[in-house]
Structure 1
């Protein structure tokens, strides 16, 4: 029964149209990163890059290399959009974007992670079978149909993202509006609506609508009687987020996803201007369809499990940050910290208080002051920095961290030499002090 559902033939209009949107938005993201100075500030100017731990070998290219790198990714986006050399273009972009994602986390957000996942998903899907240069140059691959599982890969991925985002908001600092107040405080200078964004009634609207939208939007789009209303709410929600929170292409990518929820005839009438496609009663299953099902089951099992892993770590994820990334925990906390770093020469006992601004950018420095993995990586950097000068050093930190509107609390054990302890990916790092929430 499940196999029959997943491998039944359906019109591929939604996938083809989404490919065009996806390619255009990818190009806009990459070219925009150059034009806005994001590449310069994030990957060119810093003398030290905070990679995902374990991927230190991924370093920004020297000179103008990263500008060229992003220009190539933008061009790959355009090739995806027009469907030229689609498989190569899609896989090449996926690999290059993954490298950028793992190369730096100072500007981390969940949307970059979603784009990485989507890049690989799209690379495997037959999005180039119609309305593409590939289909025009090689008519043998042309097709107006695809298997039903292709559509449901996108829908299930979206359902996981939105559901976890909704559940994560059901915690004290979202429900008492404190985190929303912090988020909106920085928007008070916005033209015309700055004062409006400070109103408590609007904060309540954001809190309630944020939870309900994330929880219900996918089911509402799937159910035909609510589909148009859900689409209208989606337009408002994502344009609001785009203007208020300035989160790049993600709101528009989210709107592009909605093509998978409408009838194919509607999509063709609006975008492809073709006669109604005749869908055959059956099309051959992929020869390796059992493998396809196994891979999809494994992939979505991981996607369901990853956001739950923080429950297996000691203490609160809002405090420790362990298990926060890759879990769709969006706009849930604001962190700030006060940090003093002491380097101790193991031979002479000489103590040097390090000015972190001599080594990292201001944005990186804010992360080092209150995110444990950044602090640990900075300690490793200092160990290498002094080793190059012939000194064997220990690195100790005194810092106090504030999460949302809680009080500043001691965060890292000042007696632990961070330069000598390993980072634990799958267990709690005991040098992070208990949260002691009040």
Structure 2
């Protein structure tokens, strides 16, 4: 009798199956259609807030102050070629950005407008490191992903024009979007919250610093300001902010806790408006928090107001290619890893600034600094450089605590001396910095010739480690 044989799956294939099926399940879930109404709401809110932001910078004279008046710009590493427009070019640039934001709000030439807005805002961001703002970085990320979101397929000029002679340039109308569009947007809004909370898990914040310093100067805050010098209030606000950042997103996603989470987020952001000068960020996050609600809430709101409209049938799925899924996963992974990079970099991130940017480290440090540059020529003559000749007060303040800006300015001083016929000079800096109320200590090795040190994105040896304790008198 012939023996029967059975093919046994290899160990390798049996190990691969769970991973493959998990990936397929996630991809199927991301293809599930959801109501597009919340994405339309976000498109309108984003466009309106960006118009407001462009107006603020124009109306308050910030365009001239930050990008026209300075004779020197702290460009980002590798982007020295990005320079401000000459003449009135920066005003024109902001005007065009406002127009593009209006087009996004209206859903007019949406794809073209979002691409140009992303490039135009990235240009503004890259002009000056002294102008680094977390919400500017967030706007760049949001405007980038909006290029790929179908936010113009409903309640937009593009959708209205679809089917006309301009149809090839317009979006096909739809009341539904793929699930990945909603969850990518939710993920990007969740990132500043969650990683802002992770960043607060440090010794200074857990000891209510620098919150204690800031609250002591804001006792005029309505109702509760009189308690801002009390330890229980200082610790309550510090730990309350930490818990909100870590928990607000899951609580917003859960229907039972959503109202309480939204009230907490609203209170948090409105307090920030009153306590700190952080621009549009609180208002933007208040508007963005609504993307965690049921995606049909804008449609239901309009229906309750009497603006009812028949919704088209829900499709079975809206496909997401394997390449698209891989790109989506890569982007998500990058946004998770980038804020965590400082954990593998030696030193206190709030002191060295290595890994601080692009990591959602918001309102974690209070620094007082005094920096002096010294130039020594080939003959051995040494003199003090006057940074106010080249830098605005804001640039000087920001530069004094950021080693990567200090070395950039040292290079500028050396180049200026060379242009004046001084030959090769030595540029050194004495920077005394206080972090979160600590006694001042030197940030930079004063013996190092900074003009000979390369600009780099990696940690450098000439930044001295933080050795001053937060509370030196504690047992």
Q: Hey, what's the Cα distance between the residues in 1 that align with 2:215 and 2:416?
A: 40
5+ residue gaps in structure 1? Answer: none
Q: Does 1:20 align with 2:60?
A: no
Structure 2 residue aligned with 1:30: 54
TM-score (norm 1): 0.94
8 Å CA contact retained: 2:103, 2:110? yes
Give the whole-Å Cα distance in 1 for the aligned partners of 2:69 and 2:286. 34
SS at 2:455's partner residue? coil
Name the residue aligned to 1:96.
120
Distance 1:276 1:201 in 2: 54
The structure that has the greater radius of gyration is: 2
Q: Give a deviation string over 1:166-189, Cα, whole Å, max 9, x none.
A: 121122221222300222344356
Between the aligned partners of 2:249 and 2:48, the Cα distance in structure 1 is 24
In structure 2, what is the Cα distance between the partners aligned to 1:177 and 1:275?
52
Pairwise CA distance, 1:314? 1.9
Distance (whole Å) between structure 1 residues aligned to residue 417 and residue 38 of structure 2: 56
Q: Answer whether contact 2:75 2:127 (CA < 8 A) is retained.
A: yes
Paired position in structure 1 for 2:83: 59
Kindly indicate whether residue 264 of structure 2 is the aligned counterpart of residue 240 of structure 1. Answer: no
Once residues 449 and 256 of structure 2 are traced to their aligned partners in structure 1, the CA distance between those partners, rounded to angstroms, is 61
How much does 1:304 deviate? 1.0
1:403 and 2:427 matched? no
Q: Counterparts of 1:188 and 1:108 in 2: how far apart (Å)?
A: 28
Deviations 1:123-146 (A, max 9, x none): 211100111111111246111111
Gapped regions of structure 2 (runs ≥ 5): 1-24, 470-475
Aligned positions of 1:284-433 closer than 5 A: 284-286=318-320, 289-346=321-378, 348-392=379-423, 393-425=425-457, 427-433=458-464
Total equivalences in the alignment: 434
DSSP-derived class of the 1:221 partner = helix
With the length of structure 2 as denominator, give the TM-score of the two structures. 0.87
Offset of 1:37 from its aligned partner? 2.1
Distance apart, 1:384 and its partner CA: 1.7
SS in 1 for 2:274: helix
Which residue does 1:222 correspond to in 2?
253
Task: String of CA shifts for 1:43-72, please: whole Å, max 9, x gaps.
Answer: 122111112222111111122221221111
Once the 2 structures are TM-superposed, how far is the Cα of residue 75 of structure 1 from its aligned partner?
A: 1.4
User: Is 1:82 paired with 2:106?
Assistant: yes
**Contact 2:130–2:399 (8 Å) recurs in 1:** no
RMSD value, Cα: 1.9
